[in-house]
Homo-oligomer: A and B are copies of this chain.
Amino acid sequence: MLEARDLECTRGERVLFSALALRVEPGTLLRVAGPNGTGKTSLLRMLCGLLQPTQGEVRWREKPIRLLKEEYWAALAYVGHLNGVKDDLTAAENLRASAGIAGLDADEGTVRGALDAVGLAGFEDSLARFLSQGQKRRIALARLHLSGAVPLWILDEPFTALDARGVAELSALVARQLAGGGIVVLTTHQEVPVAAVRAATVELGREREPRS
């Protein structure tokens, strides 16, 4: 169970949001919505423990993630704006490297299976440099197939650059994760095409106007 208490985010001199509280139970999809520049990405990064809140704390299973550290991160998969894909590695090498960094061990079969699942069969050994935008995004998303047992997924605009079939496949994947009792937090400017039993939305930047 993921919980945030009294979160405040300050970037530069602007307070993006404050006194934000949320509580996400297993099996729930949380959508973070709001116009450009209102702090969605910042919130997700806080939930990941990449950004320290200026106030408040994030808790995972009743313990502050600030203390849990690696224990929390072992339960987390994060796909950010940036793909974390190296142009000079092939798709398979990229995925294997990601697994190594995350501390998962992925054998050849798992890696190929994951790439297959995101529709990159046949491109395993192409350098990422020679893949299209959407194909690179798929490499990043393939990480979700590796970390099968990870309960918490945080996805920042995961549908970007995907074609219609890609969107559908990812939606199905998210639905499966939810059905399995996982938690998914995501942002998207499109309508969320996920059939979730339990869903919630956090709306950022309601009243705020940019200040110079």
Interface residues, chain A, with chain B CB atoms under 8 Å away: 11-12, 34-37, 40-41, 81, 119-126, 130-135, 137-138, 157, 160-167, 189-190, 209-212
Contacts and interface: CB of A to CB of B under 8 A. Distances in A.
Kindly report how many copies of this chain are found in the complex they form together: 2
A163 B210 contact: no
Nearest to A163: B35
30 contacts: A12-B126, A35-B163, A35-B165, A35-B166, A36-B119, A36-B132, A36-B133, A36-B134, A36-B135, A36-B137, A36-B138, A36-B161, A36-B162, A36-B163, A36-B166, A37-B123, A41-B133, A81-B133, A121-B210, A121-B212, A122-B209, A122-B212, A134-B189, A157-B161, A160-B161, A161-B189, A162-B189, A163-B189, A164-B189, A167-B189
Most B CB contacts (10 A, CB to CB) among A12, A134, A166 go to: A134
Contacts of A81: 133
Task: Name A's interface SS.
Answer: loop
Given A210-B121, A211-B122, A163 B34 contact: yes
Contacts of A11: 130
